[in-house]
Structure 1
């Protein structure tokens, strides 16, 4: 970024970068100027570092105070039952609910059966990519890493039989679960075919990717039925909740609503809750006020993590326009996911900077949340 080149002085950016790289590679700094001792140099550099430390202290203090002012906010925690949703308004946690009907969880539970079988047998597969449809999509190196059991190892039989017993219990009780007729039928198909695959594999004391692929393809139409029921349940439950909360806080407050969606990385893109909830928001602001926060794992205090990150986003939105009002591209970077130096680095290595986005996510440090009173450990 052109605004960050000032610190390089009169040297060209490339020349200075080469100098800095050379010093880093040798692990040594340039010799102090005449009359300046190494102690003087260290003291001066520490003084420079202290400037940034003081900035961070001030930044953290502002963020801590801002958390208390964030309103209205909906925090979304993705979970196995369709999501937990919390409304925060005027400094208070108004309500936390799991609004999705129960058959969402039940439909997904049985749709996951092929993944459950795969999780047991994967280490015992052949490490050679077989001749199956779309085999070119399998990374041979990934396959080689996940197949870590020796050929002929029979260690899969006991855990697979145990899983089969769990499936059989669900199958025998399915009729009394009071599910919609089509969902009951699809669930029965998945359970029955899974037990048949397990029985055949255990009897033969062998299986391969081809036989598993055949089983998975057989149950896929039934899985699609389960997915349809799960999606309908989540849409209906979430939209009804948003409608009720909108009436509760009023149109004026709702028009400024922020929504933070916590999810693991593998579900952060096109997250199901984000897709549904964005339709209920102010469409003029949804692109900047609907914030997806991918996490490595579920945080112990998700409300604090969501608010802490949102406070960072809000204060950076204003800081960007005040600090970088002479360079809007850099301002957009501060407001977005792009690191401020990324554009400059790409220029120096001959790359092309991507378009800036509008929401920045920072890692939340531990601290007390004024809404929950808890301390987060991300």
Structure 2
């Protein structure tokens, strides 16, 4: 009879699935107890084994809870519509929270988002057939089929699109008094005018299609690029000035050990704009391990707690990896990174190949009160 240890130790990557099928009856949690062992005895023994993990997790959580109070210095970044909110934490205290990006970042992006706003109204009413357009091969027909959930000929888009046009018109009539840089004002003017013209044509014709929308989007794209340039410049200038001020406040020694945790939703986690800017201001010898992107399902109710809780997990895992797995550095790297500890073993058994791992990782937030804010949070 194959034991679980024997099975895992002898199964090859190619033959693992076959062996698993034949060994299921011997390894199943519902297998009959061995002779002389009652079902009650077996359950008690297994509960005792589970108790080991419960106790470990209690110890782990206790260490993490205390470590949160020691983390220093840390900058927590919350991505938002105004270019980001940045909080400096040092020696267990929240020193300052700042929105450092100039206002025209938000204004430039607001107008640049107009085509997305129009699309969001029209998308459910599109044809579910991919049209013959330049980028047709990049459109997943199944994705299109799911987002087009209105019946052909449904005119329900007209009312919300007219409402959006009224909002655009208000911005257009006030644009000249917003005191924007001239090039930014001109690009905003173009986007607003073209969007209202597209809406007017569509409403008058009582119809639209993906081709006509693509034509409108292509027309305003050069102006959108101008807005993107202004927004990027605003964010770089505002954030670098803040980092320079905080670096002076902390001093070079403390700054060299700075941790930065960047909270974002999944769609902005890769090459996050704040991360790109901040990494240039950090200790370059440590930036790969001390700049940590934390993608979240949604914006957490207490971002400071979530950032510190995850950072504490990362810091203690970094040390635990070297002390617990000092005889297997590959497994140690897994504990320090984004890999699950069993991932390498699973890949070996199924004959898979691991993607390139990044150096920083994050885990789920545990319940508890944040020592900085005094609040609890759920991600």
TM-score (norm. length: structure 2): 0.95
**How big is the shift at 1:32?**
1.1
In 1, are the aligned partners of 2:87 and 2:97 still within 8 Å (CA)?
A: yes
Which SS does the other structure have where 1:74 is aligned?
Answer: strand
Deviations 1:157-189 (A, max 9, x none): 000000000000000000000000000000000
Shift of 1:366: 2.3
| 1:82-134 Cα shifts (integer Å, max 9, x gaps) | 00000000110000000000000000000000000000000001111111111
1:259 aligns to 2:260 (yes or no): yes
- Correspondence 1:315 to 2:312: no
| Map of 2:9 onto structure 1 | 12
2:103 maps to 102
Contact 1:265 1:295 (8 Å CA) reproduced: yes
> In the aligned structure 1, how far is the partner of 2:208 from the partner of 2:186?
27
Deviations 1:165-219 (A, max 9, x none): 0000000000000000000000000000000000000000000001000000000
What residue in structure 2 maps to residue 273 of structure 1?
Answer: 274
Separation (CA, whole Å) in 2 of partners of 1:232 and 1:312: 35
> Contact 1:316–1:334 (CA<8 Å) still a contact in 2?
yes
Computed over aligned residues only, the root mean square deviation of the Cα atoms, in angstroms, reads 1.8
Residue 305 (1) aligns with residue 302 (2): no
Deviations 1:13-71 (A, max 9, x none): 42888458853899753221111000000000000000000000000000000000000
Q: 1:77 to 1:313 in 2, by over 3 A?
A: same
Structure-2 change in CA distance of 1:200 and 1:355 (3 Å) = closer
For the 8 Å contact 2:4–2:27, the answer to whether it is kept is no
Structure 1 spans left out of the alignment, 5+ residues: 1-5
Q: Distance in 1 between matches of 2:22 and 2:368?
A: 37
Partner of 1:194: 195
Q: Conserved in 2, the CA contact under 8 Å of 1:23 and 1:29?
A: no
Shift of 1:12: 3.1
Structure 2 counterpart SS, 1:212: helix
168-177 or 364-373, which deviates more: 364-373
The equivalent of 1:245 in structure 2 is: 246
Structure-2 residue corresponding to 1:344: 345
- 1:64 equivalent to 2:62? Answer no
Once the 2 structures are TM-superposed, how far is the Cα of residue 8 of structure 1 from its aligned partner?
A: 1.5
CA distance in 2, matches of 1:22, 1:337: 31
1:235 maps to what in 2? Answer: 236
